[in-house]
Amino acid sequence: MAKLYFKYGAMGSSKTAQALITKFNYEERGMSVWLIKPSTDTRDGAKMIRSRIGLTAEAEVIAPNDDIRARFDAIGRRNVIIADECQFLTPQQVDQLRDIVDEEDVPVLCFGLRTDFLTKMFPGSARLFELADSITEIKTICECGSKATVNARIGPDGRVVTEGEQVLLGGNDTYLAMCHSCWKKRIARERSSI
């Protein structure tokens, strides 16, 4: 029986690398993979997925108004669906992935962030927490050695950003994975130095 999987972690936890390794493992066994990513993620080009360690693959782009179920039906059966940056999917699209699992017996593996730079849940991630059969945290560490859970947004001045739009694409130059304690202490320290 197929399952809906949500594999989440903070920035830099190897989510994309694990998605691409999973794709390779399925294909190595002769299985077909539908690799998808939301159109919101344009960092590496419209159709590219790239991990920090250099793994890359071409993916189908899913726009916010796309019906994933209809797109899946149109491309023909695949053995598995792998979604990168799934936090940017709409809740309705997560429901459509759930339908594919239930009605087509196709496993769906979603990789993405749980929360934004203010520790607020992304709508796609929230829906995955509600619907996924399997939820796995992909861990990474803060500079203090504790488990990182916060995606701290760092401004051009090097300070932690505490307001702004939920989505701002970036990598190591824009975000820093931190434990909650270090994040709070750094914000307090920076505010006291103003």
Q: Which of 143, 151, 181 is nearest to 168 (CA)?
A: 151
Over the stretch 2-16, which tens digit does the pLDDT of each residue have? 999 999 999 888 898
Q: Which of 164, 161, 167, 168 is nearest to 187 (CA)?
A: 161
pLDDT at residue number 175: 83
Count other Cβ atoms within 10 Å, centred on residue 26.
Answer: 18
165 vs 124, more confident = 124
| pLDDT at 46 exceeding the cut of 80 | no
The total domain count for the chain is: 2
| pLDDT at 155 exceeding the cut of 90 | no
The single residue of 60, 85, 104, 137 carrying the catalytic annotation is 85
pTM of the model: 0.90
Q: Are residues 9 and 98 in the same domain?
A: yes
Q: What's 155's DSSP letter? A: -
Q: Are residues 127 and 158 in the same domain?
A: no
Is residue 14, in this structure, part of any structural domain at all? yes
pLDDT at residue number 139: 94
Q: What is the mean pLDDT of residues 97-108?
A: 97
Which residues does residue 7 pair with via DSSP β-bridges, in sequence order? Answer: 111, 136
CA–CA gap between residue 10 and residue 108 (Å, rounded) = 21
CA–CA gap between residue 123 and residue 140 (Å, rounded) = 23
pLDDT-derived band at 158, boundaries 50, 70, 90: confident
Q: What is the CATH number of the domain that holds 102?
A: 3.40.50.300
Instruction: Reply yes or no on whether 163 is catalytic.
Output: no
Here the tokens at position 156 are: 């051009």
Q: Are residues 132 and 156 in the same domain?
A: no
| pLDDT at 172 exceeding the cut of 60 | no
